[in-house]
Structure formats: C-alpha cells, structure tokens
Amino acid sequence: MFSHERIIIRRGPESGLPIIVAVHSTALGTALGGCRLKAYPQWQDGLADALRLSAAMTDKCALAGLPNGGGKTVIALPTGATPDPGLRVAALHDAGSVIEELGGHYATGPDVGTGPDDMVTIGHRTNHVFCRPAGAGGSGDSSPGTAAGTVAALRAVCRARFGSTDPAGRSFAVVGLGRVGGRVARLLAESGAKLVVADVDPAKRSLADELGATWATPEEALTAAVDVLVPAALGGLLTPTSVAALRCAAVAGPANNQLDTPATADLLHNRDILWAPDYVVSAGGVISATAVELHHESPQQVTARLDAIADTLTEVFASAQRDGVTPSAAATAEARRRAG
Ligand code: PHE
C-alpha cells in the first residue's frame, strides 16, 4: 500500500549526491525523522530505507504521544567511498535546502552517520533541525535520551517476561556499541546485568573490557544464550533464518526496523520470544529532543517522559495478550488509531 504523503528525490545541486526526503505522515503534526548518511549499493536502496524508516517514525511519534508525524532523510553515498569533508558539507547543505522547501512540514535530526555538528551544517540552510550542540542553540546529542528510553523499555520487558523490572543478574547481548548501544551497555552494566557485547569495529573491544562484558562477534552475540537480545546497530537483523537460531527469551533494542518483514514478528511469537516493537523502544531521542527544544522542559520532566516508554510498552504487551495478537500487531493497531 502506498501511504507516503510526499517523497522528494533530488540530485543535490551542491554535492551531486542523491538526496531523499520522505514525508510519511503529517496527520498529527510536523513530520520528524533523522538524516541518515550512509553508503548503499544503489541509490534505490537508500530510497527503500527512507520509505521504511519514515513510516516507522510515524508509528514511533504516535506511540510516544507526540503531536508529530514521521519522515526521514537519506543521503545515499556510493559504496566503498568515504566522502571527503567538503562533499559531506555539500550533501548536508543539499539536504537542508530540500527540508527548507518543505516549509515546516518536516524537521530533521541526527541518525546513522550524522551527529550534532552535522545538524549545524544542515542549519545553514534551514531552521527545521533538532539536536544542534547546546552552544549552537540545540539540545545536542540525542543518544543519551535514546539510551535512557531503551533501558526503561528493557525494564518493562524484564517485568513482562521474568516478573521483575530489575536487570541485575539478568543476561543481555548488546549487538552494536555505537553512540546508543555503547551507552545502553554501560547503563546495564551499572545495574548489575551480565553482558555479551559485539560490534563490527574491533576497537570497541576496550569498552567490553571496561564493562567486564564478554566480547563476541555480531553473529555470535545474535544467537547467544541470554535473557534478552538488544539490537543496537543497523536494521533487518531479524529474519526467518536468524529467528530460528535465537536462544534468548526476549528481543528489545534501539535499532530501527529490526524485522526484515512484518511477518517475522509472527515467527518470534511462535517461538515464544517476546519482541518489543523497535519504534516504541527507540523513541527516547525524539522525545528528549522535542521536550527540550520545543517545550523547554527540565531534566526531571524529560526523565519522566523517557520512563513513560516503559508504561507504553507494558500497555502494548497487555493489549497483545488480551487480543491474542503479537506485540507488533498491537502496537501497529494503536499507532493507526492515533495517527490514522
Ligand atoms: N534518529 C532519530 C530517531 O530515529 C531521529 C531524531 C532524533 C529526529 C531527534 C529528531 C530529533 O528517532
């Protein structure tokens, strides 16, 4: 079904790179979604990513109770080439120009491949950008908010699956130790959890050592015998093949678009593995950025909003059980009810 309100695909006049801005829905308000700067085999793969990710942002904002819809920006780099700093700036300017043309229907923020400083660069062309560094008038890095929201979600998962919210003594496999995954691993370690951690970057092993975690390859961590698998890297890791090999009781993490197709949620359910919908778990970044930049809320108010992710997830699990459907189906139904 075609459901996107507007998709702009343009060869960036300053960079020559494909700039893709997908506005999925503005039914609840300005569409929000980060700017992803990533290499794709073909630019069409970047378009597919933008379409899926922007639709997920609609569900994310709706279930987070935000007056916002979903969108996404993708700057599709050719594979193998790392852009020189000049090309990167040009591409971010191109993205900013497209966003400016949308006149406030869409605002961006950081995502895979971009950070607060890049938001300053986008900000040269448009004001519809979140998460510039504090010194530049923004709320800065959104990953602490995403990580805190993820840990709140993990507590709700532990309660639903094991009867207690306490991560102490429970085992978690964190796949991906980037800006969000690294923080989640640290917070879990501080709570007394047992950790298996993995990253494609071998340099991340030092964090594993620091946290007293077991270092593994991403493939090993994915199928580790743990209580909870925490996907914290790129999406698409839950496939019919990988689900058949899982040895965990629950899957909950901040990676966007974890399921290869929606039907994989049924495979998890059939294996009695509790899957927390990623767009509920990962809402902390967009929740904290909007709370600080639009509502000027105090740190205590922001923390309360992030903790509420646990309540949302508990409601999703409860309605799934009540209606005899997967948490994915329950969450999607609730998002449709709110965002149309
Ligand atoms: N990458 C963030 C997400 O997927 C996007 C974002 C963060 C957008 C903060 C706006 C503000 O939710």
CA distances from 16 to 19, 27, 31 (A): 9, 32, 26
Question: Rg (Cα) of the chain, in Å, rounded?
Answer: 19
For the chain, 340 residues long, give each residue's pLDDT as a single digit of tens: 789 999 999 999 999 999 999 999 999 999 999 999 999 999 999 999 999 999 999 999 999 999 999 999 999 999 987 889 999 999 999 999 999 999 999 999 999 999 999 999 999 999 999 999 999 999 999 999 999 999 999 999 999 999 999 999 999 999 999 999 999 999 999 999 999 999 999 999 999 999 999 999 999 999 999 999 999 998 889 999 999 999 999 999 999 999 999 999 999 999 999 999 999 999 999 999 999 999 999 999 999 999 999 999 999 999 999 999 999 999 999 999 998 7
Q: Would you say 105 and 23 are in contact if contact means Cβ atoms under 8 Å apart?
A: yes
**What's the pLDDT at 189?**
98
Nearest atom, ligand 1, residue 107 CA: 10
Q: How far apart are the first and last CA of the chain?
A: 14
Ligand 1 centroid–CA 143 distance in Å is: 9
For ligand 1, atom 1, name the residue with the nearest CA. 111
- Among 111, 114, 295, say which to mutate for ligand 1: greatest number of ligand atoms within 8 Å of CB: 111
Ligand 1 centroid–CA 289 distance in Å is: 8
Q: Would you say 25 and 2 are in contact if contact means Cβ atoms under 8 Å apart?
A: no
Report residues whose beta carbon is within 6 angstroms of any ligand 1 atom.
Answer: 32-34, 109-111, 130-131, 142, 256, 282, 285-286, 289
Domains of the chain: 6-56+70-136 (3.40.50.10860), 144-339 (3.40.50.720)
Catalytic residue among 60, 72, 194, 204: 72
Nearest atom, ligand 1, residue 282 CA: 12
* β-strand partners of 215: 197
Q: Which two tokens stand for residue 146?
A: 């995403």
- 3-state SS, residue 198: strand
The residue among 248, 224, 228, 220 whose CA lies nearest residue 185 is: 228
For ligand 1, atom 2, name the residue with the nearest CA. 34
Q: Kindly provide the residue ranges of all beta strands, DSSP E only, lying in 41-188, ordered along the sequence.
A: 69-78, 106-107, 171-175
> Does residue 60 have an active-site annotation?
no
Q: Tell me the DSSP string of 6-47.
A: EEEEEE-TTT-SEEEEEE---SSSSEE--EEEEEESSHHHHH
**What's the pLDDT at 81?**
75
In this prediction the pTM is 0.95
Q: Which residues of 126-147 are buried (b: 16+ CB within 10 A; e: fewer)?
A: bebbbbbeeeeebbbbbbbbbb
- 3-state SS, residue 315: helix
Ligand 1 centroid–CA 34 distance in Å is: 5
Ligand 1 centroid–CA 247 distance in Å is: 31
